[in-house]
Amino acid sequence: MLTISEKILSKAGGRSASAGEFVEADVDFAMAHDGTSVLAVKSLREMGITRVFDPTKIIIPFDHIVPANNETAANLQREIREWIREQGIEHHYDLGKGVCHQVLPENGFALPGKLIIGADSHTCTYGAFGAFATGVGATDMAEIFATGKIWLRVPQTIRVTINGTLPRCTSAKDVTLKVVGEIGADGATYQAIEYYGEAIDALSMDGRMTLCNMAIETGAKNAIIPPDEKTHTYLAGRASGEYTLVQADSDAEYVDEYEFDVSDLEPLVARPHSVDNTCVVGSVAGTPIDQVFIGTCTNGRLEDIAAAARMVNDSMFKTRTIVIPASRKILLDAMDAGYIQRLVRAGAMIAPPGCGPCLGAHTGVIGEGEVCLSTANRNFKGRMGKGGLIYLASPETAAASAIRGEITDPREI
């Protein structure tokens, strides 16, 4: 009678645990990036802890403000690099390696049945592989660094079934915006989401990561897609260790259920300043834009860059466009496939792998009153620059809009 989340947390906690119960669970992998590791290490030192619980289970990617944009960031990153060497942490991915939520799957840390905790809210991305993955604050991460354990309440689970076949010019991002729009920004607060259905089965691993990445935008604790052959294929030759597939019981109890058919799904857009403020692209078509951003841990994968490049064909962008691959591997693969060359010829600026302007740090911060159409996961007020307006959409819609200089239905291009 257990869901996937209940089973994984039961195993990690060493006893059977159902929704609503608390467990002290052993963490398989702990992640903090250049932004959150600073506070985690500070808290660790204040606790008087001199050694981490297991340096082989800690992963530190640098992605949020890389290369450093000022002396303060550079000094903080230098301090963390020194701490990493001091602790003997092997899994440090420095600038240019990529966004944490792409780097971990690429290097085989996102594994079925594992409990993965990250000091970043979009850690739920790894649920695409059948893991229980969720984000915590930096001080919570300090305790995990010290003990290897976390205290969690087992969440109730929502079952979401998505059937049908995606129409042309729609992709996983449109499915994601559909789900967030229907459930709402707080409709799944501290609950798990399990995804099922033929449309989910058809998604690539890139698409599944996009879907699970934005579970937090419904308030969910985590999201999980049951692992299958696509999961095995992706992990073949890259899994960092052994893993066990975990499936829900046939009589598992769900707190709520949603069903969608995406056969007639239109390209969607999330309007400022809330991710669940969604509409069909036609409702905002013609809105002038100042910038287009294609990238982030949501849509900076090879599949996304390919979709944007195919949309371009021989067109030129009419608005400034920034493309940031989610990892070095993706950048190289996109170059080999000719996608980067095509986007550069169209007028795009290609930036080093990392988070870029997503969090308003650098490489594309927008000015007051400016409008950015982004493939990121959040459009909160001031996120990419004080007074700026953010619309969220798929890579297809983003590229089509860059070509026209206004929000555009990609089916028209």
Output the CATH code of domain 268-412: 3.30.499.10
Secondary structure in 3-state letters for the chain:
CCCHHHHHHHHHHCCCCCCCCEEEEECCEEECCCCCHHHHHHHHHHCCCCCCCCHHHEEEECCCCCCCCCHHHHHHHHHHHHHHHHHCCCEEECCCCECHHHHHHHCCCCCCCCEEEECCHHHHHHHHHCCEEEECCHHHHHHHHHHCEEEEECCEEEEEEEECCCCCCCCHHHHHHHHHHHHCCCCCCCEEEEEECHHHHHCCHHHHHHHHHHHHHHCCCEEECCCCHHHHHHHCCCCCCCCCCCCCCCCCCCCEEEEEECCCCCCEEECCCCCCCEEEHHHCCCCECCEEEECHHHHCCHHHHHHHHHHHCCCCCCCEEEECCCEHHHHHHHHHCCHHHHHHHCCCEECCCCCHHHHCCCCCCCCCCCEEEECCCCCCCCCCCCCCEEEECCHHHHHHHHHHCECCCHHHC
| Whole-number pLDDT of residue 148 | 98
Confidence of residue 23 (pLDDT cuts 50, 70, 90): very high
pLDDT over 90 at 405, yes or no: yes
Output the CATH code of domain 4-259: 3.30.499.10
pLDDT over 90 at 142, yes or no: yes
- Which tens digit of pLDDT belongs to each residue from 212-253? 999 999 999 999 999 999 999 999 999 999 999 999 999 999
| Mean predicted confidence (pLDDT) in 48-64 | 97
Domain ranges of the chain: 4-259, 268-412
pLDDT over 90 at 362, yes or no: no
- Which tens digit of pLDDT belongs to each residue from 83-123? 999 999 999 999 999 999 999 999 999 999 999 999 999 99
**Mean pLDDT computed over every residue of the chain:** 96
- Which tens digit of pLDDT belongs to each residue from 253-308? 999 999 999 999 999 999 999 999 999 999 999 999 999 999 999 999 999 999 99
- pTM (2 d.p.): 0.95
pLDDT over 90 at 313, yes or no: no
- Which tens digit of pLDDT belongs to each residue from 148-164? 999 999 999 999 999 99
Question: 4-259 with 268-412: one CATH topology?
Answer: yes
pLDDT over 90 at 360, yes or no: no
- Which tens digit of pLDDT belongs to each residue from 117-135? 999 999 999 999 999 999 9
| Whole-number pLDDT of residue 331 | 98
pLDDT over 90 at 361, yes or no: no
| Whole-number pLDDT of residue 249 | 95
| Whole-number pLDDT of residue 100 | 97
| Whole-number pLDDT of residue 314 | 84
